[in-house]
Amino acid sequence: MPIAPMLSEEMPANALVARVLEEAGIEMVFGISGGHTGRIVSGLSQYQNSIRTVLVREESLGGVMAEVYGRLTRRPGVLLGQGPWVLGNGLIGTIEAHLSSSPMLLLTDFSDAPRFPLHAPYQQGTGDWGSWDARRAFGGVTKHVMQAHDPIAAVQATQLGIKHALAGQPGPVAILYSHDSLAGSVAPDSQPMLYPTRYYLPATPPPAAASAVAAAAAAILAAERPDVIAGNGVRIARAYDPLRRLAEAAGLAVATTAAGKGTFAETHPLALGVFGTFGTAAANAALAEADLVVVAGSKLSPSYTAWENRALLDPARQTFVQIDIEPRNASWNYPAEHVLVGDAAVILAQLVEEVGARGGDRRQRAERRIAGHRERHGYFSDRAYFAEDVPILPQQLIGELSRGLPANAIVCCDAGENRIMMTHFYQTKQAEGFLQAAGSGPMGFAIPAALGAKLVHPDRPVVAVCGDGGFAMTMNGLMTAVEHDIPIITVVFNNKALGWVLHGSGPFSAEFNDWDHAAIARAMGCRGVRIEEPAAIAPALAEALASRGPTVLDVRTSLAVTFADITSQLAKDASPRRR
């Protein structure tokens, strides 16, 4: 059947940009109008029934919300705003999307002044003398930069930007619109011709070669102690169910990277938790003895692998099976004997089918092996979960969160020592229950991440966990929570310090005043509770879960426990700082 053109009547370019987003199935846009992008906002006003436009108080909020939307939905998250501030303020979400492969679209502008581009007009980003170069600047932190200088190009750049953000290894794509590109209109007979957006959306990734899958499955079934490492690529591919089914069919012990925490329920009898530098002792012991390791959606960064300590992972004594959407990632850090290039969900499902019923009693044997490691090394069983110390120990607070949050809760973590504590001590009960900025690790991530996650999953409780330093960076996100009725819970580890800095470098320039973050929250229209006694945590959390509005729990926590206390000896032995 012939492909019909996109237009049957003339339409303004700004409305067509919004129409493209709708045709791509994008349901939300985050940002703040500025420069020429105000015209896109006008276009979005015509699509309010299908696209929710979320006005934020600063671009960093919108950037993180867009990154999380892309990570959770597999559709590009959209950040809208003026060029200099999408680049500067919005960078934490953009660079996280770039390093963690989240599909994202930056709709921004050159802030150009027609007829005066060579006279260095205010804010202009065309790269001319007296201007800043927006294309070069965005090029360093995105997959690609597209520019539109006329109305047709504005539409095509949006369509192709979506395609590029999704194709292959996903990531952020910036689209720079000139003044003229959004000021005009497009007629049905305009050249080049415009076509519906569905033709620009990537097709379902093809499966891996059957022979390669068969060889990998045979290697897995031949192994005595096979493990799988699940990375963030499992989350991007939404491959939770195929991962679980393969682990159960083939008898695989499941560890995750820090970035992959939340892709496999840590309550499952095949689960080991996070491995590596800040991993569980059970996970590290099981991986160290593995004779085969399936790596699903991870580059195996040295910061995850205890600085590539060969006592943990070693291709000279272990067989590696690597699954990755990007061919360049395969055998990048560790040589893999079996490389399966493609979408993690597709390939894991292929392996499940190939293994079939040949697993026999492998699952039972794997569960016994994992139970032994849990018993010998401990597994989410720290005694301090039930401590009564004042100030409150991080483990006590995390224990209350683990016990008090329902299985379907989503926890979003910030950067710093609080994130390390949560990665190590918090036990996830369900896939997609834990998010962190593991690609770039910016402070100020947790609150906007929680806002984005709650918008994607309005029926699930969503909790932002941050330190007092990270809370201060994006606490203006609570204003967005109130204005857009996004009932998240924010838990502040308030130790009056940058814990990572203080414990790593000393107290100079690392300590804060004792701020009452609960009072700040109340001033912004949220519920705010100050907690100083361990017994007060559980009832405050229960009330927050029952509340229909955003809540801040400001918990006075102790500095007695440090990141060094939970750093694996494997990482300490292999750290480049010791060499």
Q: Give the pairing type, strands 11-12 and 185-186.
A: antiparallel
Which tens digits make up the pLDDT trace of 184-214? Answer: 999 999 999 999 999 999 988 899 999 999 9
Distance of CA 515 to the CA centre of its chain: 29
Residue 80 has pLDDT above 60, yes or no: yes
Quick one: tokens of 303? 């910061």
Q: For domain 11-200, is the CATH number 3.40.50.970?
A: yes
Residue 48: which pLDDT band, with cuts at 50, 70 and 90? very high
**pLDDT at residue 215 tops 60:** yes
Measured between its terminal Cα atoms, the distance across the chain in Å is 66
The identity of residue 241, as a single letter, is D
Does pLDDT of 1 surpass 80?
no
pLDDT band at 577 (very low <50, low <70, confident <90, very high): low
Name, in order, each residue with C-beta under 8 angstroms of 517's C-beta and a sequence gap of 6 or more.
Answer: 468, 471, 475, 492, 494, 528, 530, 552, 554
pLDDT at 578 over 60: no
Q: Do the Cβ atoms of 210 and 234 come closer than 8 Å?
A: no
What's the pLDDT at 574?
Answer: 78
* pLDDT grade for 2, boundaries at 50, 70 and 90: confident
pLDDT of res. 275: 97
- Residue 579 has a pLDDT of 44
What is the enclosing helix (H) or strand (E) of 330?
none
Residues 167-176 have a mean pLDDT of: 96
- DSSP secondary structure string for all residues of 460-529: S-EEEEEEHHHHHHHTTHHHHHHHTT---EEEEEE-SB-HHHHHHH-STT-B-----HHHHHHHTTSEEE
How do the domains of the chain map onto residue ranges?
11-200, 210-377, 383-566
Angle formed by the axes of helices 59-73 and 91-100, nearest 10°: 20
Contacts of 440 (CB under 8 A, 6+ apart): 92, 95, 96, 98, 99, 100
Q: Which residues contact 1 (CB under 8 A, 6 or more apart)?
A: none
Has domain 210-377 been given CATH number 3.30.70.100? Answer: no
Residue 438 banded pLDDT, cuts 50, 70, 90: confident
The CATH superfamily holding the domain 383-566 is: Thiamin diphosphate (ThDP)-binding fold, Pyr/PP domains (3.40.50.970)
Nearest-angstrom CA–CA distance, 314 and 92 = 34
User: Which band of pLDDT confidence, cut at 50, 70 and 90, is reported for residue 69?
Assistant: very high
The β-bridge partners of 273 are 255
As a whole-number percent, the residues of the chain with pLDDT over 90 amount to 94
The residue length of the chain stands at: 579
pLDDT tens string 228-276: 999 999 999 999 999 999 999 999 999 999 999 999 999 999 999 999 9
Reported as a single tens digit per residue, the pLDDT across 82-131 is: 999 999 999 999 999 999 999 999 999 999 999 998 999 999 999 999 99
The string of pLDDT tens digits covering residues 289-312 is: 999 999 999 999 998 899 999 999
Whole-model pTM: value is 0.96
Q: What is the band of 575 on the pLDDT scale with cuts at 50, 70, 90? A: confident
